[in-house]
Structure 1
């Protein structure tokens, strides 16, 4: 007989499970259950604690956020000062540091005898966490090093900070020090959300992390993608290891995140090698760093060396070249892209940023110009990270000259002279249609504008699109300037004589190019959609459209109200897709491509998972009828069962709907009393029916894809086919193909020349296949190559 656990036993079991899942997800990067299972456990715990308030403990996973916003932060005096580090900017600075370390010890030490703990210098905000008897009791900012601010409520919301230490053996009092930061992806997602809601965007991840951590309302902090990485300790009462690396490894064992780049090296040459290696990989890291921190590993040596002024003699930060600098904005010019978008580009007084001379920077669009408040003549802050295009991040307003000039959009295209128009966004909400201005200005010259034509052709023939080998930018420019190509369709009627007459072409190269054009006539549907250059439709969206809707005909006919049912397609993207495929010029180009033998492959029915995808209740909810919320939509759908019955329902029938009040009844009648609304709604419903997505459509059997939920990585050179083709095959089997290896990677395919990704896979124990292994896998699942 199985005994039912008491509420207290179940609550404790749930806390243990959730804490373990949090540790695996946020610290080890090895999630062990799907999100849905985690949510089920968390919701059960919340319910049990709500039913049994006496069981709620401060370290429960449900207690990360709570309480009213603070009116101000309290102050915290640091028992052990949080000192800053000395800086090294050149190799000689590091050599001098190492010499001072060795000379500062009581006994002579050879260069190779000094071990250094090496870590990336995260670009975030230094914080202190105080644990007493294993329980997190306080969080504080560094402040001026001796006094900081009490941010306990906020640090409790950071998911990879344990509210209670794991394991055992930790000191009774333990102050952990580290950096709160934001990953690059988290930063971009936060800024995107801020733009969508009209909030303030942040200049860089460090500012975003600092701003998020200093919110008086911890609920705001909880919704920011913050992470914590510890690098040392302050005050403690108890026993700890006697080396810097040993302490960090102990902290990791107690559930705290330490850097995955942590390394122990011997001598200053080991430090310099680590610095060079990390510098080369800096752009590929998922977070921003501005240098490397080196600390003498032996704590006895640290005590001998001591401190000078406000910095330790046993540690130093070796900085990378600055990624932000000040310079003058000399002018703003406008470039025309392949979709006609007019993009402002800053022309700058040349300045060295991160080791590169920068004279141009992107301003994105005119909304960004307005947000920055930038004017010609301003002193601006320029940021460059890795290979990312330099950006204007901020205006130094106090340096603005009296003759600064506003930035104005040209009325005519700078390339073809056609009119420039601002995009308009149509949104239907609460039964009304509103038109708002978009962020993009476009030249209306389309392919009559040589800038758009050239860029459109270059995109069309690119490797990830139609993959026409031999058609580089220089050749495309010749074809456009001579007049042989006025649309992508013209590529498929080029003659031998025309190509042979181009600069740099002989008989063999001519035959090769014409052969490559001919071979490109059978792209996958996803590649074809991507090649067309639909605004805001990248590779992943093109793959989604091709898989979900299954045919070029459905994609070209899809209404915006239908497209938004597909995952990750919002109203703006749906509008761009619909506008593109209903444009007369675009439809003509597509028709000509098909007439000249281009046949997108893999067309058929909609994907099984989208059959009967839309419920009547969801359909009604998306109409956003005033006073009819989702629950009201569900009651209508349950009561009437069909859309025509709801549209034609009279007052008496509506009164019979359970808990559907008079205001909602009146709004529904008013909405469907408008003939335009009725026609639009019925048109959308009919398309859902035509596509097989309607709630009355037959459901299809969904076959589980063999690699669904798996993450694969490709590295090295493949001989049978390109890595892009391999990626397509793996994605067809349900895999996600990523660009970097982590503990969550299921398998790495390694060809000749595989380097750091293969090494990391072996280090993490990730499965590795060679090319023959991949071919065998594909053949096993019915993919012939």
Structure 2
């Protein structure tokens, strides 16, 4: 056996120490300091060293352990069948090598099929059912022994207290992932911030922290979900393969992993991976890869396991959604309503294949709450959304040269003294003529969902303002082709197209004009309510504040914002220009379009003919109400390609489920 050089011996020792430390922070404290990608890199380096110099591989090496040590907070529960972790593949070559090893291990004459499924980023648990009754639940722990969290698991709605169906096993161990949906995670952190509680770094940590509460009432207050994907020991039931096992579990009333697919080749596996990667940002929960498993259970026995992982399964990781970067500076940007937003300039990092250099910090309070400083190393996240955010600082890496952020006292664009209203966390520039607010206001006015002037981009808006061809959105309707054709990168045809798009926007539905005006607190839905209740811009302008406050879904805050908007002289000038230009100011003549008036629709899956945003806009134009939540009040559930869990919930509630073609028929 080749002896490792002293420098590699020392490096292996350092790696063991670092990995054990980060395991403790991740599994026990639920407060990681490094990204998943950095952790995987450390583990890979140690594995490579131990493979090259087997003498370095000690029994207490992190490569020989599963998960985390058991804490003394909960009772220990031994697993009858070890809950193994999975080996990782980070590229196609590594997947291909694994497939070759599998085929070599089972013999050339055997036909092998694989199952692929999403790898949820949550907490692995085991549920035990005896004679159909849920009797115990535990964490994975170190793989051999977990923690008894039975009462906490009982609070999760996805976990039935009793199995359903006829052929109930006498004993059944099922394994799966407890997770928190992205929307629920954001809501939890908002609640935690209001009560000055601990903020969670990501949905996985939120789920772990919620599961390990000593008071089950706290767990019950958190929106946790469970998807099952494996079985430990079972008595009174047999499964021939993985897909059959998932089917049987579903019949027993258990919620199983979604989107499982049978694959017969590496091409099928890669196609599945690419498809999930494309859908990743639209999923309601976080995934960090796919799991590839040999389907046939007899082949599982033949292939066997290593110390910490099975030979018949592997995780093919997606690019990390979190990475560590450094705050180079914090600058302040002005939004269309005058809100001043601090933005962190970061050392460039790649997250999910995208280079990230900036992250919004929302407001001064968030900077103080997270104790972010210029020069800090921070954990940056880009998940469930294209907007990167800073999860937290890493104070352990401070060197003393970091600087605390101080909010500006004057607008960085127009130098007006900024203000902060008592009931708000944001600072604002009060100058409605501030060039930043004017530019972004026109951009919002012309955006999709508002007046939808497709040819009017941000650079062109800047040119029009700088050349003093427009001062506000109302001036757009008085532009002439000859004025435009002389602008940079604007030929005769481009000028003609823009004028045409502006002309077509005159007849947009009333609610889109109301939304386009950019009134504070008035999104697309509130704009629909105002259009429905008042029927015209003039009626809204002349409405008494008290009358507006009494409208359902409006209330004092929105009513005050609408009332103040129309009192502002600058806004009155813009509105008079729009009226003079012949922009539709009332709902008259538009009522015949309202085929979906009052109907509530939910979408699930991918539509082939339009984006989700476009579909929701069309629903609003026809008087319908798009919703993201499935409930008894929903009139139609539109099921596109590869629908998610909403479809099963809709069927359970008896909601009218329609296809994309049927939805298109509704729009005609």
CA distance in 2, matches of 1:83, 1:738: 40
Provide the C-alpha distance between the structure 2 equivalents of 1:308 and 1:564, rounded to a whole number of angstroms: 67
The answer as to 2:287 corresponding to 1:289 is: yes
Compute the TM-score of the two structures, normalised by the length of structure 2.
0.79
- Match for 2:273 among 272, 275, 278? 275
Q: Give the structure with higher Rg (CA).
A: 1
**Contact 1:715-1:757 within 8 A present in 2 as well:** no
Alpha-carbon distance in structure 2 between the residues aligned to 1:153 and 1:582: 57
Per the alignment, in what secondary structure is the counterpart of residue 419 of structure 2?
strand
1:261 corresponds to: 259
**Structure 2 vs 1, CA of residues 219 and 318 (structure 1 numbering), >3 Å: closer, same or farther?**
same
1:417 matched to 2:415: yes
Please report how far the alpha carbon of residue 320 of structure 1 lies from its aligned counterpart in structure 2 after TM superposition.
0.8
Distance 1:407 1:94 in 2: 46
Q: Who is 1:317 aligned against?
A: 315
Q: 1:27-62, CA deviations, whole angstroms, 9 ceiling, x for partnerless residues?
A: xxxxxxxxxxxxxxxxxxxxxxxxxxxxxxxxxxxx
* 1:440 to 2:426 alignment: yes
Partner of 2:136: 138
Residue 543 of structure 1 is matched in structure 2 by 528
Distance 1:568-1:323 versus aligned 2 partners, 3 A rule: farther
Q: Distance in 2 between matches of 1:549 and 1:153?
A: 52
1:454-509 deviations in Å (ceiling 9; x for gaps): 11111112232122343222221111011221222222333454334333445554
Larger mean Cα displacement after TM superposition, 71-80 or 525-534 = 71-80
Between the aligned partners of 2:544 and 2:196, the Cα distance in structure 1 is 27
SS of the residue corresponding to residue 387 of structure 2 reads: coil
CA contact (8 A) 1:709 1:734 kept: no
Match of 2:325 in 1: 327
For residues 716 and 239 of structure 1, what CA distance do their matches in structure 2 show? 41
Report SS of the residue matched to 2:420: strand
1:375: which partner in 2? 373
1:262-661 correspondence runs (5 A): 262-385=260-383, 388-425=386-423, 438-447=424-433, 449-553=434-538, 555-556=540-541, 566=551, 573-602=558-587
> For residues 595 and 275 of structure 2, what CA distance do their matches in structure 1 show?
42
Distance 1:733 1:586, change over 3 A: closer
SS at match of 1:260: coil
Q: Which runs of 5+ in 2 are unaligned?
A: 1-71
Question: Which has the higher relative contact order, 1 or 2, with Cα contacts under 8 A spaced 6 or more apart?
Answer: 2
Is the 1:209–1:226 Cα contact (8 Å) retained in structure 2? yes
Give a deviation string over 1:528-565, Cα, whole Å, max 9, x none.
11111123322222222322444434544667776565
1:708-729 superposed Cα distances (whole Å, 9 cap, x missing partner): 34546894458xxx99887556
Give the 3 Å change call, closer, same or farther, for CA 418–252 of structure 1 in structure 2.
Answer: same
Unmatched runs of 5 consecutive residues or more in structure 1: 1-70, 426-437, 608-702, 780-785
Preserved CA contact (<8 Å) 2:173 2:234? yes
Deviations along 1:711-762, one digit per CA (max 9) or x if unpaired, are 46894458xxx99887556446664447999999947599xxxx7689x99x
* Alignment partner of 1:108 is 2:108: yes
Alignment of 1:107-126 (within 5 A): 107-109=107-109, 113-126=111-124
How far 1:256 moved relative to its partner?
0.8
Contact 1:171 1:240 in 2 (8 A): no
**Alignment pair present for 1:99 and 2:100:** yes
Q: Does residue 708 in structure 1 map to residue 599 in structure 2?
A: yes
User: Do the aligned partners of residues 463 and 704 (structure 1) sit closer, same or farther apart at CA in structure 2, a change above 3 Å counting?
Assistant: closer
The equivalent of 1:686 in structure 2 is: none
2: CA distance, partners of 1:158 / 1:739: 21
User: In angstroms, what is the RMSD of aligned CA positions?
Assistant: 3.6
- SS at 2:225's partner residue? strand
Matched, 1:188 2:186: yes
Provide closer, same or farther for how the CA distance between residues 255 and 770 of structure 1 changes in structure 2, counting only shifts above 3 A. Answer: closer
Say whether the 8 Å CA contact 1:352–1:358 is kept in structure 2.
yes
SS in 2 for 1:166: coil
